[in-house]
Structure 1
Amino acid sequence: MQKLQEVIIAGYQDEINEVTAHIDRTKKLIDQLSLLRIGLFLAEILFFVLLLRSADDNLRTLIQICLVLPVIAFAFVVRRQSRLDREIDYKKQLLWVYQNEWNMLHGAPNGYDHGKAFEAEQHPYTSDLDIFGASSLFALTNRCSTKTGIRLLAKNFSEKTTRDRILLRQEAIKEIKHHIAETYSFRANLHGYDPEKIEQIKVQLKNQLGEQLSFVKGSFIRFYVKLVPYISIAMILTAILVSSVFWKVLALLVVVHIGWNVLLGSKINKVFYSFGGSSNQLNGYARAILWTESQNWKSSYTLNLLDSEIPVSKEIRSLTRIIENFDARLNIIVGGVLNALLLWDLKCCINLDNWYQSSSKDVITALDHLGDFEELISLATMAYNQPDWVFPVITDQFALATTHIGHPLIHQEVRVNNDFRVEAKPTVDIVTGSNMAGKSTFLRTLGINMVLAYAGAPVCAQKMQLAVFSINTYMRIKDSLNESTSTFKAELNRLKMILDNVVKDKDTFVLIDEMLRGTNSRDKYLGSKVFIQKLIAENTPALFATHDLQLADLIIDHPEAVRNFHFDIQITDGEMRFDYLLKHGPCKTFNAAILLKEIGLKLDD
C-alpha cells in the first residue's frame, strides 16, 4: 500500500506540473495579446492622422473604413484576453487544489478550514478525540469551501446517526471516489471565493429579493422600459436625418430618465449591492453544479441531492448574465449613458424579477446541495489518498471488532496498530499501564475511528465491524477560572453527563482516561470503582484507562463483566522501550521509579 500511495503522490505532482505549464503558456499568450492591443491602438492613431491629412476622395473613404477595423479587432482581443484571464484564475485555483493534496501527503497542514469554530468542550466526545481544530480529524478531511459544506461535515462528525444512513453514505462516498479525478475541477470552481457572498445571495433569494423588487412590478414601468430603446434610437436617427431639433427632445428625455433613476436610486442600490460583483463566483458555482448534473449517479443518497427537474446550472448562468449587465453601472460613463438612453438599471431589475419568479427556489436548493457534494468529496478524497484504509461493516447487532487499527492523525511511518474486539455482551475493559505506554492514544484511536465510521468514511484499520453507538468520553478535563470551576468539580460534571447519557441511550459506548485526577488517591479509587460498577449495572460497554492496579481486581467480583488489558514497557540496561501494543491482563511493569531516578530521586523498595 505504501507503493500505491507513492503512485498517488506522483499523480498529484504530474498534475501540478501540467497545470503550472498551462498557466505559463497562457500568461505568454496574454502578454502577446497586450502587445497586439498596443499595436491596434497605434494603428488607430495612424489611420486618424491619415484621415486628417487626406483629401475628400476614394482614399479618404478607404481610410474611414480602416478606422473601424482596429476598433473591431481591439474589442475582439479584449474579449479574448478577458477569457484567458478567467482561465488563469481557474487554473490557479486548480493548482492550489492539487498542491494542497500533495502538501498534506507530505505532512503539511490542510489549507482548508480546520473547524476551530466547532470546538466545544462540553460535547460528549469531540474535544477529547481531536475532532475539530488544528491537527484534528476535521483538518485532515475537510475539502469544503462553502459554509454549508463545512457545517455539514462538522454535523456528521458530531451527531449520532443511523445504520441505514451510514450505509447510504458509504455507497455515495465509494461512488464519488471512482470519479475522484473530476472532483478537483469541482473544488477549483468553488475555491477562492468569499463564502459569505454566496450566503448573502441565498438569504437575499429566500427572504428579501421579492419585496425589494416590488417597485418594478407595475405594468407601466415594464412597458416603458421595454419600449425605451426604440424611442432613443428613433430620436437619434430623426435628429441626424430629419432635424436637429430632436436633439433637444432627446436631451429632455435624458433628463427625465436620469431624474427617474435618481428617485429610485436607493431601491436599485439595495438590489444591486446584494448581487453586484458576484458574477464570477456564480459562474464558478454554475460550473460546479453542472458537473453534479452531468454525472450518471447510481447511489440513492447522491440522487436525492438532485431534486430539480430543470438544469439549475443554466438558471444560475441566466442570473449571472443579469448581474454582469447590472455591473455596467460600476463604470460611471458607460452606466450613465446606458441609464440615460435605456434605463439600464431598471431593465436589469425587471429581468432579475422575471428570473426570480421562475427560478429562485431551484437555485437556492442547488446552492445548498453544493455543500452536500463538497462534504462527500471531502471523505472520498481521504479514501483515495489513504488506499490502505477500509470501509467498516456496520452491523445492527452489538459488536466492535477491529484488526490493525491505528490513529489516523499519526503518520503511518510511526503509527502502531492494534487488534481489539468486544465480547458478545457489554463489558468494562480496564486498561492499565505505565506513563507514555499508549493507553490514552489507544482510547482515542478507537474513538476517532468510530467517528469516521459513523460519517460513512473509511477507517484507519485493516478490518472493522461495529454497531452504532453513542460515544461518550472522559479524557481532557479542565478547570475554569471564569466559571469558578475546579478540576474536581469539572470532573464531576463530566461524570454526571456520562451517567445521564447512559441512562437515556442504552447504546452508549464510554471511553475514560484516568478518572478523578483532581482528588486524593483513596477517593479516586473508590470513585472509579463505584463508577465502573454503575456502568456494569447499566450494561454499558466501556474502556477505562488507569494507573490504579487495584481496579484490575474488579474482575474477581465481576468475571463476566470486566476484562483486563495493558500496555507495558521493556527495560534493557535501565533503558525503557515502548512497543505500544495492547496485551491481555493487567500491567506488571511501571516506569515511575525509572523516570524519578533520571531526575535524581530514588524510591525505597
Structure 2
Amino acid sequence: MPEIMEVNSPVGFYAERLHKLQSKTKKISQKIGLFSWLRLVSFLLMAGMFYLFTASTDTIYLIASGMFFILLVGLIVSHQKLYTQREHFLLLSEINQNENDVLSGGTSIFDTGKAYISQLPFADDLDLFGEFSLFHYVNRCTTGYGKDLFAESLLHTPTEINRIQNLQMAIRQMSEKTDFNQEVMVALLGVYRRKDFKEFVISDEEPMWFFKQYYYKIAAYVLPLLVIASFIYYLTSGNISLFLLNGSVAFLTAFAQAKKMALLSEEMSGFSHAFHAYYKVLEKFESQDVSGEILTEMKKVAAEAKNGFKQLAKISEWFDRRANILWYALGNLFFMHDLHLAFGYEKWKYKYHSKIEDWLITTGRLEMLISYGVFRFNHPDFVTPTLSSDPELFASDLGHPLIPSSKRVSNTVHLQIDPRLVLVTGSNMSGKSTWLRTLGVNVLLAQAGAPVCANAFRWKPMPVLSSLRQSDSLHENTSLFMNELKQLKAILDRAASAEPCLILLDEVLRGTNSEDKYTGSYALIHRLTQYNSLIVMASHDLKLSLLEKQLNGKVVNHCFESKIENGQLLFDYTIRKGIAANRNATWLMQDMGIIKKDDTSV
C-alpha cells in the first residue's frame, strides 16, 4: 500500500499546496488559450471594420474598428498578465516540489555551495559544501550576497550567547512565514533565471562624478527650450534653419558626453530587473510583523532600501533604453535626456551610495534567515538548543540531520570536563566517522541559531576544530601526511587559548607505520588533555584505550560494535561505553574475494 501522508507533516503540507498550485496553473493555462482566440478574433474584426470603412467611407465602421482596437489592446495587456501569473504559479510549484524532493532524499534546485570549499582551511571534514552537503540541503538563497552570508554562517559561527539567542528568535519567526518565504524565493529566482540577467556587485572604486558643473544644468534646460521653440517656429513659418542650428548644438552637446555616459552606463545598464526584485522583496518584508533585535533592525533598513532600489530600478531601465537609436536621438534632441538621466543618477548616488551595500547585505541576510527558517519548518521534530555557561555538550537522541529519519540512528552524548577526551574505537564502517560529523554539524547548526537533530540539546558555544579527512596539495607541494600535521598544528595552536573548543579527530597519523602512529597518537592525547576543550577522537588502535586508566579521569572509552550473523556483517550504529571487541577488515576482504581464508594464516 502507498504511504499515507499527513497534511500536517511538512511533506503533506507541500503536497497539498502543490496540488492547489497545479490546479490554479491549469485554469490559467486554459484562460491563456481562450484569450489567444479572443485576440485573434478582435484583430480580424478590427481589420474587417477598417476595410469596410475604406470601402464605404462610413464613419460607423471607423468607430467600430477603433473600439475593436481598444478591445485588442486590453486583451493583450490581460493576456500578458495571465502569462505572468502562470509563471508565478509555476515557480511556486517548483519550490514546493523541491521541498518535497529534498525531504525525500533528493537533490535541491538551489546552489550547492561548491565554490566555498576553497575557503575552508583544510579538507571539508563536515561535508559543509558541495552536492548533498549541509549548505546544499539548507540553502534557499539565490543572490550572491545571500549565499555568501549563508556560507559565512557555517564557516564562522558565532559563539556569543546573546547573538545566538537573537538568531534563534529570528529563525523561529521566519519558520512561521511560509507564504512570505516562498514569495521571496519566487521573486528572486524568477529574475535570476532571466537570460539577460546581471547581478549587481558593489565596486571597490570611488564613485564617479561627471556632471556637477553648473553649465551642464544650464545646457540641460536651455537647449530643450531653444530646440522646441525653433521647431514650433519651423512649423508655423516653414523656416527650418533655426531648428537645424539649435538641434545641431543639442546633438553635439549630447555626443560630447558620450564617453562619460558610457562609463555611467557600465555602472547601471542591465541591472533594472535585479533592483526591481530587491525592491519587491524588501517591500514585502517591511509589511511583515516581526520582533527581536535582528529582524527589527533589518526592517528599518528595508524601509529606506525599498525606495532606493525602486528609484535605482527606474534609473537603470532608462539607461537600458539608451540603446534604442530612435529614443536616443529624439530624447537628446528635444529634452537633453542623457544630461537629465546623469543628473538623476548622480543625485541618487550622492544620497544613497554609501548605503547600498548595507541594503544588499540586508537582502542577503533575509535570504539566509529564510533558509534556516525553512529548515526549521521542514523539521518540526528537531529541537531548539539550550545554552549553557559550562563547557559541555549534552544531546539526547542526537542524529545527523542529512540522514533520512527512516535510516537515522540516534545516540545520546554528554561531553564535559572531565573526562574531556572521549576515545571512540570500533571496526570499519561501524559509525565512528559519521558520529564525529554528527557532533560537528549539529554544533554548527546550533551556533547559527537553527534547530538541531535531537530530542534535547544543551551546549556552551565554542569553535569546532576537526581533522577527519586529509588531502594532498599540489599547489603547496605537500603530502597527505604533511597536510594532516599542519592541520593538527593549527588545532593545537587554537586549543591552547583559554577559550574551550570542540575538537573532532578521526584516525590521526594514518600516513605512517603502526608503531610510529601509536607513539604519536599517545603523545597527542597527552597534550590534548592539558587543554580546556572537549575532544572526541576515533581510532582503530585499541592500545590507546589504556590511557583511560593512566590519565586520571581525563579520558573515557566509547565504542561502536559490529557482528557477523549468518554470513552477514551487521551494525547497530549505537555508541556505548567500553572498548571495541570485534573486527571486520579481514572478514570483508574474504567476503569480497580479495583474499582467501588460507591467506590469513601467518
Using structure 2 for the length normalisation, give the TM-score: 0.89
Q: Tell me which amino acid in the other structure corresponds to 1:97.
A: I
Aligned-pair CA distance for 1:550: 0.6
Q: Distance in 2 between matches of 1:269 and 1:66?
A: 48
Flag the 1:82–1:139 CA change in 2: closer, same or farther, 3 A. same
* Residue of structure 2 equivalent to 1:10: 12
Q: Distance in 2 between matches of 1:54 and 1:249?
A: 44
The yes-or-no answer on 1:488 pairing with 2:487 is: no
Q: Distance in 2 between matches of 1:31 and 1:237?
A: 48
Q: For each residue in 1:531-574, what CA deviation from the matched residue of structure 2 results, as whole angstroms up to 9, or x when unmatched? A: 00001122432111111111001112123111010111123244
Q: Distance in 2 between matches of 1:399 and 1:5?
A: 38
The answer (yes or no) to whether the contact 2:167–2:294 under 8 Å persists in 1 is yes
The yes-or-no answer on 1:414 pairing with 2:407 is: yes
* Residue of structure 1 equivalent to 2:540: 547
Q: 2:126 aligns with which of 106, 125, 129?
A: 129
Flag the 1:567–1:483 CA change in 2: closer, same or farther, 3 A. same
The answer (yes or no) to whether the contact 2:321–2:327 under 8 Å persists in 1 is yes
The answer (yes or no) to whether the contact 1:428–1:542 under 8 Å persists in 2 is yes
The answer (yes or no) to whether the contact 2:92–2:186 under 8 Å persists in 1 is yes
Flag the 1:340–1:76 CA change in 2: closer, same or farther, 3 A. farther
Which stretches in structure 2 are left out of the alignment for 5+ residues? none
Q: 2:237 aligns with which of 197, 219, 243?
A: 243
The answer (yes or no) to whether the contact 1:397–1:467 under 8 Å persists in 2 is yes
The answer (yes or no) to whether the contact 2:120–2:155 under 8 Å persists in 1 is no
Q: Distance in 2 between matches of 1:244 and 1:454?
A: 79
Out of 338-347 and 37-46, give the one that drifted further.
37-46
Q: For each residue in 1:94-135, what CA deviation from the matched residue of structure 2 results, as whole angstroms up to 9, or x when unmatched? A: 3332222122122211111111111148626x7111111112
Q: CA RMSD in A?
A: 3.1
How many pairs were matched up?
593
Aligned-pair CA distance for 1:77: 4.0
The yes-or-no answer on 1:301 pairing with 2:294 is: yes
Kindly report which structure 2 residues correspond to 1:306-321, keeping only aligned pairs within 5 A, or say none. Answer: 306-308=299-301, 310-321=303-314
* Residue of structure 1 equivalent to 2:98: 100
> 1:545 aligns to what SS in structure 2?
strand
The answer (yes or no) to whether the contact 1:216–1:346 under 8 Å persists in 2 is no
Aligned-pair CA distance for 1:66: 5.6
Aligned-pair CA distance for 1:70: 5.0
Aligned-pair CA distance for 1:360: 4.5
Flag the 1:160–1:49 CA change in 2: closer, same or farther, 3 A. closer
Q: Tell me which amino acid in the other structure corresponds to 1:288.
A: V
Q: Distance in 2 between matches of 1:268 and 1:215?
A: 15
Q: Distance in 2 between matches of 1:146 and 1:442?
A: 33
The yes-or-no answer on 1:448 pairing with 2:441 is: yes
Aligned-pair CA distance for 1:489: 2.0
Q: 1:140 aligns with which of 137, 141, 147?
A: 137
Q: Distance in 1 between matches of 2:245 and 2:81?
A: 39
The yes-or-no answer on 1:354 pairing with 2:352 is: no
Using structure 1 for the length normalisation, give the TM-score: 0.89
Q: Distance in 2 between matches of 1:166 and 1:432?
A: 34
Q: Tell me which amino acid in the other structure corresponds to 1:132.
A: F
* Residue of structure 2 equivalent to 1:579: 572
Q: For each residue in 1:469-516, what CA deviation from the matched residue of structure 2 results, as whole angstroms up to 9, or x when unmatched? A: 221111112233453323322222222122111113531221111111
Q: Distance in 2 between matches of 1:319 and 1:40?
A: 38
Identity of aligned residues (%): 28
Aligned-pair CA distance for 1:450: 0.8
The answer (yes or no) to whether the contact 1:210–1:356 under 8 Å persists in 2 is no
Q: 1:391 aligns with which of 378, 384, 390?
A: 384
Q: For each residue in 1:309-340, what CA deviation from the matched residue of structure 2 results, as whole angstroms up to 9, or x when unmatched? A: 95432332233333334443343334443343
Flag the 1:425–1:269 CA change in 2: closer, same or farther, 3 A. same
Flag the 1:309–1:541 CA change in 2: closer, same or farther, 3 A. closer
Flag the 1:557–1:146 CA change in 2: closer, same or farther, 3 A. same
Q: Distance in 2 between matches of 1:575 and 1:48?
A: 86
Q: For each residue in 1:584-604, what CA deviation from the matched residue of structure 2 results, as whole angstroms up to 9, or x when unmatched? A: 111122223422443313434
Q: 1:156 aligns with which of 143, 153, 156?
A: 153
Flag the 1:73–1:348 CA change in 2: closer, same or farther, 3 A. farther
Q: Distance in 2 between matches of 1:6 and 1:134?
A: 29
Aligned-pair CA distance for 1:24: 3.9
Q: 1:428 aligns with which of 421, 436, 457?
A: 421
Which stretches in structure 1 are left out of the alignment for 5+ residues? none
* Residue of structure 2 equivalent to 1:288: 281
Aligned-pair CA distance for 1:273: 4.1
Q: Distance in 2 between matches of 1:335 and 1:30?
A: 35
* Residue of structure 1 equivalent to 2:597: 601
Q: Distance in 1 between matches of 2:34 and 2:326?
A: 29
* Residue of structure 1 equivalent to 2:525: 532
The answer (yes or no) to whether the contact 1:443–1:511 under 8 Å persists in 2 is yes
The answer (yes or no) to whether the contact 1:400–1:465 under 8 Å persists in 2 is yes
> 1:304 aligns to what SS in structure 2?
helix
The answer (yes or no) to whether the contact 1:452–1:458 under 8 Å persists in 2 is yes
Q: Tell me which amino acid in the other structure corresponds to 1:158.
A: L
Q: Tell me which amino acid in the other structure corresponds to 2:17.
A: E
Flag the 1:393–1:293 CA change in 2: closer, same or farther, 3 A. same
The answer (yes or no) to whether the contact 1:200–1:274 under 8 Å persists in 2 is no
Flag the 1:316–1:36 CA change in 2: closer, same or farther, 3 A. farther
Out of 264-273 and 43-52, give the one that drifted further.
43-52
Q: 1:116 aligns with which of 114, 120, 129?
A: 114
Flag the 1:505–1:471 CA change in 2: closer, same or farther, 3 A. farther
Q: Distance in 1 between matches of 2:45 and 2:253?
A: 42
The answer (yes or no) to whether the contact 2:396–2:411 under 8 Å persists in 1 is yes
Q: Tell me which amino acid in the other structure corresponds to 1:342.
A: F
The answer (yes or no) to whether the contact 2:220–2:335 under 8 Å persists in 1 is no
The answer (yes or no) to whether the contact 1:5–1:386 under 8 Å persists in 2 is no
Flag the 1:275–1:121 CA change in 2: closer, same or farther, 3 A. closer
